[in-house]
């Protein structure tokens, strides 16, 4: 198997090993091959997008916590943010899995 294909596939599949964003970033910085750099960049951003949803969840949870003390409403924004982040994360991980297997095969 070609080393470039193995590195590119590893970038996409690194979320399975618990080192999601770190390994594509390291490969993107260290690699000299443009094809590997392209795959590493795509893998980095596709694994970074679900992490950005966590910022929204924390923000809405903080805002809804302040509203909870003053009203009887349910924390709808937080629940919608959690559901949206979960959906985006699921889609991104399936996309990374498919792309990683395509590169390796």
Confidence (pLDDT) at 8: 83
What does the domain layout of the chain look like in residue ranges?
3-104
Distance between terminal CA atoms of the chain?
9
Q: Is the pLDDT of residue 102 over 80?
A: yes
Q: Is the pTM value of this prediction over 0.85?
A: no
**The pLDDT of residue 72 is above 70:** no
pLDDT score at 69: 66
Cα dihedral 20, 9, 36, 32, rounded to 10, equals: 80
**Contact predicate 12/99, CB 8 Å:** yes
Q: How far is CA 1 from CA 31, 61, 103, in A?
A: 18, 47, 11
Question: pLDDT tens digits, residue range 26-42?
Answer: 888 888 888 889 888 98
Q: Which residues, other chains included, contact 105 with Cβ-Cβ below 8 Å and sequence gap of 6+? A: none
């Amino acid at each position: 198997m070609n080393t470039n294909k193995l590195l590119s596939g590893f970038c996409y599949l690194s979320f399975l090993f618990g080192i999601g964003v770190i390994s594509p970033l390291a490969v993107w910085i260290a690699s000299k091959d443009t094809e590997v750099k392209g795959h590493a960049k795509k893998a980095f951003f596709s694994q970074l997008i679900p992490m950005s949803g966590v910022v929204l969840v924390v923000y809405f949870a903080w805002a809804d916590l302040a509203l909870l003390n003053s009203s009887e409403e349910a924390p709808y924004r937080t629940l919608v943010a959690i559901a949206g982040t979960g959906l985006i994360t699921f889609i991104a991980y399936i996309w990374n899995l498919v792309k990683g297997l395509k590169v390796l095969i």
